[in-house]
Amino acid sequence: MKHSKLLTSFVFSVFPEELKLIDKNALIIPLGKIVDEMIKELASAGKINQPFLTGFPHPSGANGHRLKQLEQEKNQLAKLVSSWKNDLA
């Protein structure tokens, strides 16, 4: 994404506008490191306000480390989801 002007443009202009159409309490789950980084950049720039997970591995079979990554991040991801659920209450 970062190496394509077209995709970068989409991420920083179109995607935030689409997110405005979604409930502000919806939990965003970026799949993979690059998407995770882009979501963090959008949040830092104030372009998105929805809560999001961080550290969720890309589920593709091409990611041979996905199960190990998920196991390593599992507790942190569970805490983030629990916090998000509590904020909704």
pLDDT digits (tens, 9 = 90+) for 21-32: 999 899 999 988
What does the domain layout of the chain look like in residue ranges? Answer: 5-88
Helix (H, G, I), strand (E, B) or coil at 28: strand
How many Å separate Cα 18 from the centre of its chain? 14
Tokens encoding 12:
């920083």
Helix (H, G, I), strand (E, B) or coil at 27: coil
Exposed / middle / buried, residue 31 (Cβ in 10 Å: 0-12, 13-18, 19+): middle
Collect all residues with Cβ–Cβ distance below 8 Å to 29 and sequence separation of at least 6: 52, 53, 56
Q: Using one digit for the tens of pLDDT, what is the confidence trace for 48-69?
A: 989 999 888 888 888 888 888 8
Q: Which residue has the higher pLDDT, 89 or 66?
A: 66
DSSP result, 41-84: HHHHTTS--S-B---PPP--TT-TTHHHHHHHHHHHHHHHHHHH
Q: 39 falls in which pLDDT band (50, 70, 90)? A: very high
